[in-house]
Amino acid sequence: MNHYPLWKNLLILIVFLIGLLFALPNLFPQDPSIEVTGTRNNEITEASISEIKVAMENAGVPVKDVEMREGDKLLVRFKAPSEQLRGQEVMAQTLADRYNHALTTAPDLPGWLEALGAQPMFLGLDLRGGIHVLIDVDMDAAVDQALERYTGDIRTELRNEKIRYLTVLAEKNRIAVRFKDEAVRDQAKTIIRRAFRDLNVFDGESGGSWYLYAELPPTLQQQIKTFALQQNITTLRNRVNALGVAEPIIARQGERRIIVQLPGAQDPARLKELLGATATLEYRLVDTEHDVRDAVEGRIPIGSALYRERDGRPVLLKRRVIVTGDQITDASAGFDQQSGSPAVFVNLDGQGARRMRNMTTENVGKPMAVVFIENRSVTRMVDGEPVKERVRSEEVISIANILEPFGRRFQTTGLDSSDEAHNLALLLRAGALAAPIDIIEERTIGPSLGQDNIDQGFRSVMIGLLLVVIFMALYYRIFGLVADLVLVVNLVLIVSILSALQATLTMPGIAGIVLTVGMAVDANVLIFERIREEIRNGSSPQASIHSGYDKALSTIVDANITTLIAAIVLFSFGTGPIKGFAVTLFIGILSSMFTAILGSRALINLIYGGRRVRSLAI
């Protein structure tokens, strides 16, 4: 009566062996390592392995191994964390311009296990240590910036069409163009409507002047905000990758916020400097036709703007921008060969290269200035309360005569230090932020605290498991020992599934596992109590086992389905920590149903099935 066919027993055994195989990598130690990736101009090749080994050997840093990984990455393994930190210094001092690097850990797995594709679980920020940052994106500024771009485009379009206007000003969510004549206004309306179909264009009259208004419709404003958020996520990801952090998590939260989690990073000041910076460059011609002293006194000529160099000297530049940081495709830090001063070598895209070549061809012998633009957040005390303000600084870092035409690649000098050149090159490579950001929450978790969380989580799982094992063994005897065995198998399957999915284990995830340990025996308790009831009703031992498993099945399924629904709802609507709890809970319920129903039944069949039994140890 209580007998499984051979194929079912083999299936259960195979599932357990596969689970054990994929859970096995979590038992191997982790090597402190450095993950190395190439920059845009330097790809990872076999020669890179020799180059890194030689650099480490010259610095006296022992290396355990250097191996090629998928995705054009190198993994440099060390035996101790101190050697890893020394290796990081070598990478930063000698190979930073050629390779990006990030501190990480790598399991020391045997070759046959790696060949099977088995890998350990990822550890979350609360277990591994690192930095958590919550960023707010200034959506109103994104709309204002788009309004400024439309203002400039409308001004350019009217000039190209030889339409005379008095002023073009950006107002709240709209652009106001003032004309002296109604006929000219009507002519401009036709041109602007044809050139800017996504704007709402309408006319008006006030104080003897004729106005034309171009308004940003709500749908366009929403598109601008969505694009700004997505562009900021891409830019922040590029900056983090260049910063050198393995396995970063950068995700959208809500309508205007971004979560950045950097496992292993421990320098929040450096992180905030790079994440929040919006440094870029603009290249403009110097206005040599007008006197800068008149501009200082307030008489700034039309088409020009007054700037200052780093030493405070005023300089008059043309308003027309040749190229901006948006058209820079690559940038690297280095030194000028002639002067030896820090420099940034810049590559432009096709459009930027054409504009630069045309402008330099027409203005050979004339001076061109490089304007360094930076937006940063400053906290000021107003009436005893801290108030954050966004400050925009613009300064001329270099002025040089155009000796000959150039286009796609050139260099920029005038920087204060090699660190400034390196940071500027990093920001230019990553791209500009589409909207200003503000860091509203920051948490730093040290590696020791992460290890404490791991130890406490492991201890909680073991204590919970031990208490359940003791209770089941004392209360249900042989059947309780069977339940304990399948409970251990259940834990193995949970770990193996998380490892196979390369899921990230966090403290809430551990809480889900602890909860699963307590819930996993519920199914066995229902089955065993049903078997006891059948025995009290006078059924034979074999019939009691059969009826106990069959009659308790519907109750077990109903109870677990409701919990599965709760786990799905938590995962669908919850944030990061809640999702981690829901994932382990969902996996734990499925694996506990498999082990409690099929696994324990298979063991009970092997113990009591196929023979005459007078009593049950239950």
The string of DSSP letters for 159-192 reads: HHTT---SEEEEETTEEEEEES-HHHHHHHHHHH
Per-residue confidence at 4, pLDDT binned at 50, 70, 90?
A: confident
Question: Looking at the domain assignment, is residue 284 inside a domain?
Answer: yes
Say if residue 268's pLDDT is above 70: no
> Considering 76, 108, 140, which residue would you say is the last residue of a domain?
108
- pLDDT value for 71: 61
Helices (H), 25-109: 46-58, 81-94
Contact 97, 63 (CB under 8 A): no
Across 457-470, average pLDDT:
80
Residues 399 and 457 in one domain: no
- pLDDT value for 575: 66
Averaged confidence pLDDT in the chain: 80
Question: Looking at the domain assignment, is residue 494 inside a domain?
Answer: yes
Number of compact structural domains in the chain: 4
Residues 332 and 383 in one domain: yes
Say if residue 39's pLDDT is above 80: no
Residues 461 and 521 in one domain: yes
Residues 243 and 333 in one domain: no
Residue type, 334: G
517 vs 313: which has the higher pLDDT = 313
Question: Looking at the domain assignment, is residue 114 inside a domain?
Answer: no
Lowest mean pLDDT among 62-71, 136-145, 314-323, 376-385: 376-385
Across 273-286, average pLDDT:
73
CA distance 587 to 602: 21
Check which CATH number belongs to the domain holding 84 and give it: 3.30.70.260
Say if residue 244's pLDDT is above 60: no
Other beta carbons within 10 angstroms of residue 357's beta carbon come to 15
Say if residue 344's pLDDT is above 70: yes
Q: Provide the residue range defining the domain that includes 471.
A: 6-24+448-608
Residues 355 and 463 in one domain: no
Residue type, 379: T
Question: Looking at the domain assignment, is residue 562 inside a domain?
Answer: yes
Question: Looking at the domain assignment, is residue 427 inside a domain?
Answer: no
- How is residue 498 written in tokens? 């998380």
Around 184, how many Cα atoms within 13 Å sit in the side-chain half-sphere? 16
Intra-chain end-to-end CA distance of the chain, in Å: 19
Per-residue confidence at 192, pLDDT binned at 50, 70, 90?
A: confident
- pLDDT value for 602: 87
Check which CATH number belongs to the domain holding 459 and give it: 1.20.1640.10
Dihedral over Cα of 229, 235, 237, 239: its sign: negative
Question: Looking at the domain assignment, is residue 616 inside a domain?
Answer: no
Residues 441 and 587 in one domain: no
Question: Looking at the domain assignment, is residue 534 inside a domain?
Answer: yes
Closest CA to 177 of 213, 219, 222: 213
3-state DSSP call for residue 24? helix
Residues 597 and 507 in one domain: yes
Across 73-102, average pLDDT:
80
Other beta carbons within 10 angstroms of residue 530's beta carbon come to 20
